[in-house]
Amino acid sequence: MHHDTDYIDRSQTGFLFILERIARSHPLIYIFSRFLAKKLNIFEKEFDGLSKIVFKNKANLLDVGASDGVSINFFNSKLNLGKVIAVEPTKDYANKLKKINIKNLKIFNFGLSNKNETKEVYVPEYNFLSYKIKLIPYIYYDKFHLRKVIKKNFFLCKSLKIVKIFLKLRKNINIKTRIDIIKLDVNGYEFEIIKSLHRIIKKDKPIIFVEELKKIYVINSYLKNLGYTCKFYNVNSKNIELFDFKKKKDVPLTFYFIPNKNNRFLIK
C-alpha cells in the first residue's frame, strides 16, 4: 500500500489537485507555484485537520524535514505555537528558515536517523541558463523511486537530471523543551527518525503527523506500543477519524498519530 502507486505527488483534492498537477508539470512552474503557496499560506489539504485540534496552552512544534518553512508558516496560522524547532539537513533551506517570521525558532542544520551517518541521497537538478537548480523538496533516498516520481510529475520537462548529494544525519538531538507536535516529511526515512525520537515520543506523547506509506504498517505497530492510535483527516466529512488499515482505496497521504492519553489538547 503506497501513496505513490502512480508516483504522483497528490496532496490536494478536486480542482486544487488539477492546479497542483499543473504546478508540478515543469520545474520553473513548480518553483513559482511553491513561492506563491508560501506567500498565500497554501498547504496540503489533509493538514486542515489542525483546525480540529485545540491545545489548552501554546504548542511546541518539532518539524523534521522543515524545508524552507512553508509547513511552519501553515502550522503557525492554525495553532497557537510556542517554541518551534526545525530540523533541515540542507544548507540552502536552513538559511531560508532563518528568514521566516516566527518567534522562538531554533534551527538544526542536520537530519535525523536511528544512527549517526552520512547518507547518500538523490535530488532532481534542472539547468536554467547558467544556473543549476536543485529541487530540494524532491530529495529521495531511493534513486529508482525518484526516477518514477519525476517521470509522472514533471511530464513537461525531459531534461531533469538526478544528482547525488550527501546529508549529515544524527541519532540524537538536544531538545530540552517539551514537544507537543511532531511533523515528519522526509520522503521515505520516517521510521528511522521515529526510532531516533523514541525518548521524546515516550516522554512527551506529542501528536505525530507522518507523511509516509511504504512503512506505515511498521510505524503504526511501533507507535501503537507507545500508546498511539492512527487516525487521518477525512477531507469529505471534515473530521479526524480512525484509520482502517484494511482499506485499499482512498488512502490518505498524511497520518495523524494521536496519543491515547493526554491532558494538553482536545479534538473537536
Q: Sorting pLDDT into bands at 50, 70 and 90, what band is 11?
A: low
Indicate the pTM of the whole model.
Answer: 0.89
Q: Sorting pLDDT into bands at 50, 70 and 90, what band is 136?
A: very high
In a domain, 173, yes or no: no
In the chain, the number of structural domains is 1
Residue-wise pLDDT tens digits, 155-174: 999 889 999 999 999 999 99
In a domain, 212, yes or no: yes
In a domain, 155, yes or no: no
Closest to 62 in 3D by CA, of 174, 226, 228, 212: 174
Span 81-89, average pLDDT = 96
In a domain, 164, yes or no: no
In a domain, 28, yes or no: yes
Span 112-121, average pLDDT = 92
In a domain, 141, yes or no: no
Q: Sorting pLDDT into bands at 50, 70 and 90, what band is 95?
A: very high
In a domain, 66, yes or no: yes
The reported pLDDT for the residue numbered 54 is 95
**Statement: residue 38 has pLDDT above 70:** yes
In a domain, 72, yes or no: yes
**Statement: residue 16 has pLDDT above 80:** no
State the CATH number of the domain containing residue 250: 3.40.50.150
Which domain, by its residues, includes 64?
A: 14-109+178-267
